[in-house]
């Protein structure tokens, strides 16, 4: 299932960077706001994305693309290459002040009090484009970073969720297995000084697991976006187990969810609703209503108005720009008129950004290659 997550970023500019003996179009300026996900990172005048297992950057001015590597004649297999460092997790970096930042997780087992226990930690690493050197910004024990579940840079503070390995135990109390599903905390790392802040559990995972045991193997947590001073964090899970018989019959249980918000001023996490959260941006919080994984609803966070949205079959394959939902199958849903129209000849993709007087469409061709188009602003009128 294709998952495209809404990305919001401002005041990022592509500039010519002279480093390691080569000019390279890399985002170089300080970023005041940037939302990062493994699929693409939208910047003010460009984006970082993945195509054929390699991270690329596109300049919205001229629509030129290039691999995000500034080492001349690089094979992308040496230890001093950024792409090499990103390969194992397939994550995309954020760019801040001439450097790329990304996570490195460690997970294994240790003996603790005579029992098998999880050994988790993660590092936030930095790659300096000027000298092609890596360094560690911060290290955190007992958690893994959710590297592909949404991270948000605001000023110098990088917000992200984590997991505790979701361990299961045998009858003797030994950890028998683990996964990235389950509960976790919201963290923030200051990119300038490496200060780590743990804001605590996003939701009560143990209580949810007792109410719905199937949530242990099906739950995911995503940072879904930002509206004003609120970060939106969604969790989704199955209330019923997916059985082998259901899989044979092509059946999939419905996913349910919750939305939690984090106030950037008070630093409090609050439960917002019991819905399967989707994209939250530009004044609208969208979600699948309970018992429905097809048609989305949109809430205007200023007026509180609830609006029926379009059918969206690929989870979160949408953005909300100019009171319009740009969603999968290359369509545009006008929130004010209710019209849902095709905007591109390509069969899959959606607008990911508005740049000057045009919308930037990102999709796939028949061979699965990532493509970009500029769509005039009046196309959706």
Instruction: Give pLDDT tens digits for 204-221.
Output: 999 999 999 999 888 999
50 lies in the same domain as 162 = yes
pTM of the predicted model as reported, rounded to 2 decimal places:
0.90
Same domain, 308 and 334: no
Indicate the burial class of 191 (C-beta count within 10 angstroms; 0-12, 13-18, 19 or more).
buried
Final residue of a domain: which of 178, 201, 224?
Answer: 201
Q: Identify the pLDDT of residue 302.
A: 96
Beta bridge partners of 19: 22
Same domain for 306 and 370, yes or no, is no
What is the predicted pLDDT for the residue at 88?
A: 79
> Which residues 6+ apart lie within 8 Å of 41 measured at CB?
7, 9, 34, 35, 47, 48, 49, 92, 93, 94
Q: What angle do CA 279, 284, 285 make, to 5 degrees?
A: 50
224 in the same domain as 195: no
**Final residue of a domain: which of 201, 219, 247?**
201
- Do 87 and 194 sit in the same domain of this protein? yes
Whether residue 40 contacts residue 4, with contact meaning beta carbons closer than 8 Å, is answered with yes
pLDDT of residue 126: 97
Give the model's pLDDT for residue 87: 86
Q: Do residues 36 and 47 both lie within one domain?
A: yes
Three-state secondary structure call for residue 236: strand
Number of structural domains in the chain:
3
59 within 8 A of 12, measured Cβ to Cβ: no
Q: Could you tell me which residues come within 8 angstroms of residue 114 by beta carbon, excluding any fewer than 6 positions away?
A: none
Distances (CA, A) of 38 to 49, 70, 189, 265, 337: 8, 20, 19, 27, 33
340-365 CB burial, b ≥16 within 10 A, e <16: eeebbebebbbbbbbbeebbbbbbbe
Clarify whether residues 251 and 158 are in a common domain.
Answer: no
Name the residue among 105, 82, 104 with its Cα closest to residue 27: 82
Residue 123's Cβ-count burial label (10 Å; 0-12, 13-18, 19+) is middle
Do 120 and 48 fall into the same domain? Answer: yes
Q: Are 326 and 350 in contact (CB under 8 A)?
A: yes
- Specify whether the CB–CB gap between 56 and 41 falls below 8 A: no
Using an 8 Å Cβ cutoff, are 368 and 356 in contact?
A: no
Answer yes or no: do 195 and 212 share one domain: no
Of 308, 116, 148, whose CA–CA distance to 220 is shortest? Answer: 148
The confidence score (pLDDT) of residue 189 equals: 98
| Percent helix / strand / coil, the chain, rounded to 5 | 5, 50, 40
User: Dihedrals φ, ψ of 106, to 5°?
Assistant: -125, 130
Give the other-Cβ count within 10 Å of 224's Cβ. Answer: 26
Whether residue 302 sits in one domain with residue 197:
no
Same domain flag for 228 and 127: no
Q: Provide the 3-class DSSP secondary structure of residue 331.
A: strand
Q: Which domain holds residue 61?
A: 1-201
Computed from CA positions of residues 282, 284, 288, 293, in that sequence, does the dihedral angle turn out positive or negative? negative
Tokens of 115: 């029992």
Residue ranges for the chain with pLDDT beneath 70: 1-32, 37-38, 316, 379-381
Which pLDDT does position 246 carry in this prediction? 76
Tell me which residue of 66, 8, 62 sits closest to 32, measured CA to CA: 8
Domain end, chosen from 263, 296, 316, is at: 316
- Name residues whose C-beta falls within 8 Å of residue 106's C-beta, 6 or more positions apart in sequence: 119, 120, 121, 122, 123, 144
Q: What pLDDT is stored for residue 28 in this prediction?
A: 53
| Statement to judge: residues 219 and 336 lie in one domain | no
Please report which helix (H) or strand (E) contains residue 199, including its range. strand 196-201
How many angstroms separate the Cα of 359 from the Cα of each of 38, 46, 61, 245, 381?
A: 22, 12, 12, 45, 12
């Amino acid at each position: 299932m294709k998952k495209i997550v809404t990305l919001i970023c401002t005041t990022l500019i592509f500039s010519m960077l002279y480093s390691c003996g080569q000019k390279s179009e890399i985002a170089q300026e300080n970023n005041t706001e940037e939302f990062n996900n493994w699929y693409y990172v939208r910047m003010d005048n460009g984006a970082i994305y993945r195509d054929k297992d390699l991270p690329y950057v596109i300049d919205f001015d001229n629509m030129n693309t290039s691999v995000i590597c500034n080492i001349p004649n690089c094979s992308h297999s040496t230890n001093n290459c950024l792409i090499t460092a990103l390969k194992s997790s397939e994550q995309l970096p954020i760019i801040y002040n001439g450097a790329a930042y990304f996570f490195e997780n460690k997970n294994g087992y240790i003996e603790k009090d005579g029992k098998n226990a999880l050994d988790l930690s993660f590092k936030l690493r930095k790659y300096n484009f000027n000298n092609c050197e890596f360094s560690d910004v911060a290290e955190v024990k007992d958690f893994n970073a959710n590297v592909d579940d949404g991270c948000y840079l605001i000023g110098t503070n990088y917000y992200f969720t984590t997991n505790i390995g979701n361990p299961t135990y045998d009858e003797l109390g030994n950890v028998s297995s683990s996964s990235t599903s389950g509960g976790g905390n919201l963290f923030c790392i200051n990119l300038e000084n490496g200060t780590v802040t743990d804001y605590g559990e996003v939701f009560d995972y143990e209580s949810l697991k007792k109410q719905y045991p199937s949530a242990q193997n099906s739950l995911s947590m995503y940072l879904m976006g930002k509206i004003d001073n609120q970060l939106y964090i969604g969790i989704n899970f199955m209330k019923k187990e997916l059985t082998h018989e259901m899989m044979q019959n092509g059946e999939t249980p419905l996913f349910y969810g919750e939305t939690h918000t984090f106030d950037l001023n008070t630093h409090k996490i609050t439960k917002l609703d019991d819905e399967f959260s989707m994209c939250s941006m530009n004044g609208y919080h969208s979600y699948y209503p309970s018992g429905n994984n097809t048609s989305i609803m949109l809430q205007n966070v200023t007026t509180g108005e609830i609006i029926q949205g379009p059918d969206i079959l690929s989870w979160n394959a949408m953005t909300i720009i100019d009171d319009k939902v740009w969603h999968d199958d290359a369509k545009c849903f006008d929130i004010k008129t209710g019209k849902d129209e095709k905007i591109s000849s390509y069969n899959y993709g959606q607008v990911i950004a508005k740049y000057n007087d045009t919308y930037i469409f990102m999709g796939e061709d028949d061979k699965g290659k990532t493509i970009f188009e500029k769509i005039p602003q009046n196309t959706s009128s």
